[in-house]
Structure 1
Amino acid sequence: MSDTAILINTAVAVLATVLLIVKFKVNPVIGLILGSLYLGLSTQLGISKTIETITKGFGDIMMEVGLLIAFGVLMGSILNEVGAIRRLVERLLSVFGPKALPYSMAVAMSTVLQSIFVDVLIVISAPLARRMATKIGPMGTARLATAMAISLECGIIFMVPGVGALAVAGVLGVSLGKMLICGLLLVVPTVLLAVLIMSFLFRRGFWKPARDEQSVFEEDDYPQSTPNQPGSVRVGIDEGQQPQADPGAVKLAVGPEGKRETSLLLLFAPLLLSLILIAAGALAEIAKFQNGVLELLGNPVVALLIGLIGTTIVARGAIGQKGVEEAIGTGFKESGQILLLTGAGGSLAATVAAAGLGDILGGFFSASAVAPLVVVWVIAAVLHIAVGSVTLSVITAAGMLAPIAPALGLDPVLIALAAGAGSLFMIHVTSNTFWLLQSLLGQTVRGALKSVTVGVSVASVIALGLVLVMSIFI
């Protein structure tokens, strides 16, 4: 088949997948598999070869990151159950003070809290942010809303064990240790610079409280629903069900009667230990230092398993065995769709490779005068604007770009980070995160377009610039 025909059929497959998800409300997993089927059959792979490629791609990506996603989700669910998020945000306020709260909160949410699903993290932390907004000045709502939007979306894409970071690393074959180190080096300056720039704009009149804020709910009041927007990938929420917040669902980290509250550092210690072990394993690999114990403990699967076991043991002393079992049950339910979505992204990547698109695009990228990483960013940004889901767009972009990674002569981690940066551009009304932040933080739609759409887009551009700088050294 000619190169032109392959390019046309690939474009049709991607557009059809987007239309199925956005226009006809088809589940993203089904949409990706249907797009993969069309691409395989239209490029004359044959029925057997197409199905074999799809199933193998699904299995390969599950082998890479399936357990990692499950372990990360379970840890996040348990930390949510013990009230660790509420206590961490309150501790940040007491340590860093009101003025630095947007920055400290953004760094915490984009790094250590990324094992927790974004919807859950918003619902838990938004009421805290609402109460604290009045303590940091007249632009408190704007600054905290922007800090939350930027940190949540950047963290899920760049920081291990965020599900987006795990998925794109698996699709592109990036080691989790390298993704963790490079993602950390990228996400911290990105969120700090983006929050700083947005705070500057807000102080210069970009934010108008009278038009951008709406009446704030009572301290323990939550909106009962958010609009059901097309194209959003709802992680941990059943299709058609509106995300609801139950104040009673936030359990305090207190143990059996008579026991003192569990130390916040102790609650997060297992998760932090996991990340340290993964990073140590990656650094040892880079330095070509061979040690059997470190190789075992630094393996991401083993490291996250250690973290999960440790989190479970600590949580038993805080909420008891029954509470831990409930949290684990919730985590298993939440992980189902993201595992399927990641697997479907692997199927698309395998089909694109089998169709021969990698060689075609590799030649285009090599001949292009535009920096390849900028083109990667643009592809992911266009997909995100069309689909409305950060996770789905970065997985789809990674699936399309995986076959050309060797031809670009770039480290795959740079492609992963550039695609992640592009997938953050222009979060808007098709995103569930947009509506959660709009309703739970007392913003008007106009206000959310500023704090979420503009704020995260600024972070997207900053991240691209930093990735280009990183490409000089990697």
Structure 2
Amino acid sequence: MSDIVVFANTAITIVGVVVLILKAKVSPAIALVVGALYLGLVCGLGPEQTLTSITTGFGDLMAEVGLLIAFGVLLGSLMTELGAIEKLVALLVRAFGPRALPYAFGGTVGTVLQSIFADALLVITAPLASRLSRRIGPHGVARMCAAMALGIEVGLVFVLPGVGAVALAGVMNLSFGTMFVFGVIVAVFTIVTTLALFTALAKRGLWNPELDETTEAPVVEDTERPDDRDERSLPRLRFSLAPLALALALIAVGAIADMLGVTSPVIDLLGNPVVALLLGLIGALVVARVTLPADRSATAFRRGFHDSGQILILTGVGGSLAQTVKDIGLGEVLKGYFSTSTVLPLLLVWLVAAVLHVAIGSVVLASITAAGVLGPVMPLLGIDPVFVALAAGAGSLFAIHATSNTFWLLQTLLPQTTRGALKSVTLTVSCASVIAMVPIQLLALVF
């Protein structure tokens, strides 16, 4: 089959998936499977091999990331019930002054708190960010709104166990330790640099408090997450946060040991992200059983299972499309069109993810689709797959706008108008999408 036919059918598949989602209002999970089915059949795989590719891609990815996503979301749900987030933010307020607080807040949301499902994390932390924004001086609202958006979105695609980062690592068959280390580096650089840029622009007239801020306090309409809990009934921060801190510490140790070539049965076991999150989950459950009524723990688990189900299905069918793309030989076809330079191939990954996100509005779906389509060719060019995953994640952050549920949550839960959200969310996260490519390209050249 000619290269042009392979390219054309791959493009038709991507466009078709977008049309099914946007125009026909088909579920993304169904649209991705239909796209994979079409691509396999028209590119000569045949019915049997096409179905094998779809099921193999789904199964292999679930085997890689299924437990990690489930344990991460359940751990985050228990952390929410234990009040760990509110107490951690209170600690940040005491430890950092007004000038540094937005950086600390955005960095914490984008790294430490990524085990918590994004919508739940936003609902819990946005009211805290809203209250703090009025207490940190000029442009406090602008800075906290931007910090909130950056922490949620950047952490989602770069930092394990963020759902996007886990899905990307699974699609690219990456070591979770490698993804964790490089993802944290890119995320912290991106959040701090972008927030500094936004702060400078806000001070020079980008942000107009009269037009970009609201005067009334945002209302959180989420009865499942009790905001009126008696703080005295919740455990102290060191107890409520200890399970999450343990899990992240074990993942970090395992990642560093893997990069240094240190092998040990104990480190290999405890440093495995699945085992680390399982231990954190067990620890959180013990703390919850000791300090909270039994029904509160059960409620947290029900919420976690509900949140993780939709993530698992969407991630799995993304793996189906990626496997089909690999089996039709797109990687070998693309190989002949690139030099050994890392710059242009990674920029292409970024561009495809950005275009998909603008069309679909889903960060996770755009990133894993771009990585799945272009990932197979990158090892042939000598590019480490981790940078493909990071570039896809960076591209998927571009132009978060009105098609995104997160955009409207950030607008309504924070003291900003829609005009303000276009600046603190759309503009700022789009800048982060571009800025993130700087450390990604530099790291790709070094490693």
**TM-score bucket (shorter structure):** over 0.9
What displacement does 1:274 show?
Answer: 1.6
For residues 243-282 of structure 1, the C-alpha deviation after alignment (integer angstroms, 9 at most, x for no partner) is: x4239623648576xxxx4221222222222222222222
The equivalences for 1:63-74 within 5 A come to 63-74=63-74
Superposed, 1:3-402 pairs within 5 Å as 3-217=3-217, 222=219, 244-246=221-223, 249-250=226-227, 252=229, 261-366=234-339, 371-402=344-375
CA gap 1:253/1:288 in 2 versus in 1, 3 angstroms: farther
Does the CA contact (< 8 Å) of 2:340 and 2:382 recur in 1?
A: no
Flag the 1:77–1:247 CA change in 2: closer, same or farther, 3 A: closer
Please state how far the C-alpha of 1:462 moved relative to its aligned partner: 1.2
| CA deviation after TM superposition for structure 1 residue 60, in Å | 0.3
Q: Which amino acid aligns with 1:198?
A: F
Contact 2:57/2:321 (8 A) holds in 1: yes
Distance 1:399 1:416 in 2: 9
Alpha-carbon offset, residue 429 of structure 1:
0.9
TM-score (ref. length: structure 2) = 0.96
Deviations 1:365-396 (A, max 9, x none): 33789522122111111111111111110011
Query: Structure 2 counterpart of 1:318, which letter?
Result: T
Residues 1:436 and 2:433 are matched in the alignment: no
In structure 1, C-alpha distance between the alignment counterparts of 2:230 and 2:158, rounded to whole Å: 29
Whether 2:430 is the aligned partner of 1:453: answer no
Classify 1:445/1:206 alpha carbon distance in 2 versus 1 (closer, same or farther; 3 Å): same
Q: Distance in 1 between matches of 2:64 and 2:50?
A: 21
Q: CA RMSD in A?
A: 1.7
Structure 1 residues 328-337 or 370-379, which shifts more?
Answer: 370-379
Q: Tell which deviates more after alignment, 284-293 or 404-413.
A: 284-293
Deviations for 1:390-417, whole angstroms, at most 9, x for unmatched residues?
1110011111122113212111111111
CA distance in 2, matches of 1:174, 1:367: 21
Residue identity in the other structure for 1:391: V
- The one-letter code matched in structure 2 to 1:246 is T
> In 1, Cα distance between the equivalents of 2:189 and 2:80?
26
Q: Which residue of the partner structure matches residue 230 of structure 1?
A: none
**Kept in 1: contact 2:169–2:389 (CA 8 A):** yes
Question: Which residue pairs with 1:229 in the alignment?
Answer: none
> Could you tell me how far apart the structure 2 residues matched to 1:287 and 1:114 are?
25
Secondary structure of the structure 1 residue equivalent to 2:26: coil
Q: Secondary structure at the match of 2:276?
A: helix
Would you say the 8 A contact 1:80–1:250 is kept in 2?
Answer: no
Look up the match of 1:241: none
Whole-angstrom distance in 2 between the partners of 1:103 and 1:289: 34
Distance 1:441 1:362 in 2: 46
CA distance in 1, matches of 2:344, 2:442: 12
The answer for unaligned runs of 5 or more in structure 2 is: none
- Aligned pair count reads 447
* Cα distance in 2, alignment partners of residues 439 and 405 from structure 1: 41
Aligned partners of 1:18 and 1:105: how far apart in 2? Answer: 35
- The whole-number CA distance in structure 2 between the counterparts of 1:46 and 1:255 is 63
TM-score by length of 1: 0.91
Whole-angstrom distance in 2 between the partners of 1:360 and 1:367: 15
Match of 2:384 in 1: 411
- Change in 2 beyond 3 A, CA 1:321/1:26: same
Residue of structure 2 equivalent to 1:467:
440
- Structure 1 position 132, deviation (Å): 1.4
Secondary structure, counterpart of 1:447 in structure 2 = helix
DSSP 3-state at the match of 1:471: helix
1:421 corresponding residue in structure 2: 394
CA distance 1:452–1:337, shift in 2 (3 Å) = same
Report which stretch shifted further, 287-296 or 154-163. Answer: 287-296
**Contact between 2:110 and 2:154, CA under 8 Å: does it hold in 1?**
yes
Task: Choose 94-103 or 139-148, whichever is displaced more.
Answer: 94-103
Q: By how many angstroms is 1:121 displaced?
A: 1.3
- Unaligned runs of 5+ residues in structure 1 are 224-243
- 4+ long deviations beyond 4 Å: 251-256, 367-370
- Bigger Cα displacement from structure 2, 280-289 vs 374-383: 280-289
The amino acid of 1:222's aligned partner reads V
342-351 vs 125-134, which moves further = 125-134
Conservation of the 8 A alpha-carbon contact between 2:342 and 2:444? no
CA contact (8 A) 1:82 1:252 kept: no
Displacement after TM superposition at 1:421 (Å): 0.8
In the aligned structure 1, how far is the partner of 2:117 from the partner of 2:24? Answer: 26
Shift of 1:430: 0.8
Contact 1:127 1:440 in 2 (8 A): yes
SS at match of 1:425: coil
C-alpha distance after superposition, 1:274-297 (max 9, x if no partner): 222222222222332221111111
CA distance in 1, matches of 2:225, 2:348: 47
* Cα distance in 2, alignment partners of residues 370 and 106 from structure 1: 29
Q: Give per-residue Cα distances to partners, 1:92-129, cap 9 Å, x unaligned.
A: 11211222221110011001110111111111111111
- Paired letter, 2:219: Y
Q: Hey, what's the Cα distance between the residues in 1 that align with 2:296 and 2:124?
A: 17
**Contact 1:255-1:317 at 8 Å conserved across structures:** no
